[in-house]
Amino acid sequence: MELVAGCYEQVLFGFAARPAESWTVVPDFTHHAHSASLSAVAVNNRYVVTGSRDETIQIYDMKKKIEHGALLQHNGTITCLEFYGTAHLLSGAEDGLICIWNTKRWECLKSIKAHKGHVTSLSIHPSGKLALSVGTDKTLRTWNLVEGRSAFIKNLKQNAHIIKWSPDGERYVTVITNKVDIYKLDTASITGTITTEKRISSLRFITDSILAIAGDDEIIRFYSCDSQKCLCEFKAHENRIKDIYSFEREGQHVIVTASSDGYIKMWNLDLNKIKDVPSLLCEVNTKARLTCLAVWLDQASETKENSDKAATSSQVNEDEKSSIVRKKKICWTDESDKTAKQKRRITPEKQKLKAPLQKKKKKRNSSA
């Protein structure tokens, strides 16, 4: 298990997390990932991808611990990245494009002009057949991923900067500044609203009906989607919280948080005692201004990702995904995308990710 985090200082951090009687987090690598600050990170069972203000997406093979290549389709800051299964990645950027990537050959299958302004956030439905996106054109757009086309456009009163599906796909939420609107899938109507005092920077579904919300303060709050009531709140950091991640391991729910104070922290959440403050499992100080966070779960270990989509490992569901993938491959590839394929990737000489000590020495030498 690897905690991966990006920061303003253009570095990607990797920390090996090991569960025992007490959890331990050990520095594994630091990599000067981009020429500008990191803005997004996503993981699947093999790869970590990072997006940056330098307009590139970098790929890392976590099993081999090497830099795998770069994707150069966007012209603008990469704002959001999300994998679907093992075969596809969706990326959004300030150029208004959503790009759909095949992760086997790392080619761009489709480049969609999704918004008139920036794409601020996207989320893939657990079925893989739908995606939602929001942008600075004050719209929420639904995408039919099987046919690769726009399915529905909803006008919003203000620009939303976060959108998320629930794990069961029955509802989704949008975030506009300090307000969370909860939508029901079958009616596409708002069923409730949660309002916080400060701007919301990160949001995570812990279960189908419980949200973890953090923002421009040091507090994490758990809310019920059904009642919109705050179930628990606690001070997690000394500065604003930039990102939240969660996963489940052997029945244990773990929340991981990253903050501008430089700390990554892991918390144990007891869902049976949701009103109790989660206990701190471990923490590590990166001494950097963190911007984004993800947890790479080694498929060999008995882990189950509790993310925004319902993660499945059974062969039946894998077969269903493969069927969706085949449909996508046919529908997302057309003559207009030839130039997109030509631009799809530049692969540098594969370099191993540097150990933390080596990286620090190199940094000191370059600054001398």
In 3-state terms the chain splits into helix, strand, coil percentages (rounded to 5) of 10, 50, 40
Distance CA(356)–CA(120), nearest Å, equals 32
Distance CA(255)–CA(268), nearest Å, equals 6
Sign of the Cα torsion 150, 152, 158, 160 reads: negative
CATH 2.40.10 fits 129-195, yes or no: yes
Which residue type occupies 14?
G
- 109 in helix, strand or coil? strand
Per the DSSP assignment, residues forming a β-bridge with 60 are: 48, 67
- Domain ranges for the chain: 129-195
**pLDDT per residue of the chain (368 residues) written in tens, 0 to 9:** 899 999 999 999 999 998 877 888 999 999 988 999 999 999 999 999 999 999 999 999 998 888 999 999 999 999 999 999 889 999 999 999 999 999 999 999 999 999 999 999 999 999 999 999 999 999 999 999 888 888 899 999 999 999 999 999 999 999 999 999 999 998 889 999 999 999 999 999 999 999 999 989 899 999 999 999 999 999 999 999 999 999 988 778 999 999 999 999 999 999 889 899 999 999 999 999 999 999 998 764 443 444 444 444 333 344 444 333 333 332 343 333 444 444 445 444 466 776 664 444 444 444 43
Distance CA(172)–CA(182), nearest Å, equals 6
Per the DSSP assignment, residues forming a β-bridge with 80 are: 92
Distance CA(201)–CA(319), nearest Å, equals 36
Smallest CA-to-CA distance from 247 within 314, 294, 312 is with: 294
